A and B are shown apart, each in its own frame.
Chain A
């Protein structure tokens, strides 16, 4: 699971209103090189929940010097864009789980695939 995907995922357990962002508990993380496309990154940033990305990076110990808030003119800052590219696309959680922040329900991640299926009474 890449952090870009994580940024879009939310808990959908019945009754939960604050199911985002899911907490990440990783037991295995891998790096996977992806070609850098600055236009992709700069256009993606407005679609993200920035604070959720920062939180996820923190949980994985991958934050480095990523700012807590977006810097102005980030579109032209290639260094910054490369850092964001790495976090969004190159860090992969292979084993672990995602946890609903409200209900505590854990969704396992195996082989990089989060299993978000709910049981009948949870849906």
Chain B
């Protein structure tokens, strides 16, 4: 599938159409596609390579991609191959990759790269880089795990005049927004990042990056630099799917709202995905009873701001960090001249005994403690059932929902299976959080009034067991 339009004019100003690729938290590809449809108005395609979506865009609308909240990293596609026929031997394959460098339709992608840089130079540009800490890792069918490699290339000669037919973008030092087409002595620095997944490849990502990168360098006369690069060329190989792209976002903070981190702060793109899942409505009261540093409710207060968020935690450091994060965002908004106040509040509480009126909350959304990163597996065993009960109490019967992220799927499933009277599982999204496989469970609060479901009749298993020998039936209390 070719990515660019027929327009080959390299001067700026003409509108061209390209394909944008975006990396999103694995499991939230569909919610990301929804957001693209909503904010950009185009249909996104979900790649077989998990955690990636693709969509078309015209350069006059390019700035919109930086408004997407479900996206970690963005790149412009140079070329895509659905079914790349790799050669038998490693030598032939790598030779072919080298030859590819000079044949690819670089022009439009480089135009987009150039245009994208002007956004960053403009004042008030939001940090669009919602990059993940490392490049996304893909798991191959079979034993081979994807290599993520950047290859240092042999030093080229320093400044060289542009000799190729392609237009070459200005170097970092250029402070003007518009780009001159006249050739001059410039030095573009670049690197190649290769992601490879699949068990039928004869080469490693290391080798591909090295050889492909070498050919790119030769073709453009750019200089290779691992750390201070202007252009990052992406070579993504997933079985027979090959995508060559140019990065549009840097690997900057992927926790855009959070200035005061905690040990388990969730990245904002994941928070956004969870929020979209529960579809907040105007005037919804949304609770995060284990808010940590407040990442989820804060993202909600910004992006789904016609609801009201109550963030709570029992640790004083957590509530303090949450308030600090809220203040930080409010100050940033005030500095830009906007109305700064956010629809969010913070309370210190014990989630197993919430100081909230029964049936007062519309949505509960939270990141439940993982045994490995905080708390312990044994603690979860006791915590989860009491947690779920208390959440059921405060949640509005019939219309209420919960979106719960947890890595302790076994414990959670067991706890929820005993609460059929109060919670019903609607949907589960499998995600990856800091390398751990976790589940995001979307639950619906049943119509049942709290305190009158069969589970409530028997206060505890011990009580039931001790009464088995006696004849009378347990009284039905509140």
Contact = CB atoms under 8 A, between A and B. Distances in A.
Interface of A: 1-2, 4-5, 8-12, 20, 32-35, 37, 39-41, 43-44, 47, 49, 89-90, 107, 111-118, 123
B278 interface: no
A4 B354 CA distance: 16
Contacts of B330: 32
B409 to A, nearest CB: 30
Contacts of B308: 4, 40, 44, 89
A115 B314 CA distance: 9
CB-based closest 5 A-B pairs:
A34-B341, A43-B283, A116-B355, A5-B345, A32-B341
A108 B350 CA distance: 15
A118 B308 CA distance: 25
B257 to A, nearest CB: 17
Contacts of A4: 308, 345
Contacts of B378: none
A90 B283 CA distance: 16
B282 A39 contact: yes
Contact of A39 (B306, B319, B349): B306
Contacts of B282: 37, 39-40, 43
Contact of A10 (B323, B348, B350, B357): B357
A12 B394 CA distance: 13
Interface in B325-383: 330, 339-343, 345-350, 353-357, 360-361
Contact of B343 (A43, A89, A107): A89
B18 to A, nearest CB: 35
B320 A111 contact: yes
A47 B314 contact: no
A32 B282 CA distance: 21
Given A43-B282, A114-B348, 18 more contacts: A4-B345, A8-B360, A9-B347, A9-B357, A12-B354, A20-B357, A32-B340, A33-B341, A40-B283, A89-B343, A112-B345, A112-B346, A113-B347, A115-B348, A116-B355, A117-B314, A118-B350, A123-B350
B345 A37 contact: no
A56 B342 CA distance: 21
B348 A116 contact: yes
B342 to A, nearest CB: 7
Interface in B285-322: 285, 305-306, 308, 310, 314, 319-320
A47 B339 contact: no
A71 B341 CA distance: 28
Nearest to B310: A5
6 contacts: A5-B310, A9-B356, A32-B330, A37-B305, A44-B283, A107-B355
Given A8-B310, A39-B306, A117-B314, A33 B340 contact: yes
Contacts of A32: 330, 340-341
A40 B320 CA distance: 28
Nearest to B352: A123
Contact of A116 (B283, B305, B349): B349
B348 A33 contact: no
Given A34-B342, A47-B285, A118 B357 contact: no
Nearest to A89: B343
Contacts of B345: 1-2, 4-5, 112
Given A5-B345, A33-B340, A113 B319 contact: yes
A115 B320 CA distance: 12
A7 B339 CA distance: 24
Nearest to B362: A47
Contact of B341 (A5, A35, A107, A114): A35
Contacts of A89: 308, 341, 343
Contact of A34 (B285, B339, B353): B339
A111 B330 CA distance: 15
Max chain A CB contacts within 10 Å: which of B306, B320, B348?
B348
Nearest to A13: B355
Nearest to B346: A113
Interface string B251-294: 00000000000000000000000000000001101000000000
A34 B355 contact: no
Contacts of A20: 357
A107 B348 CA distance: 10
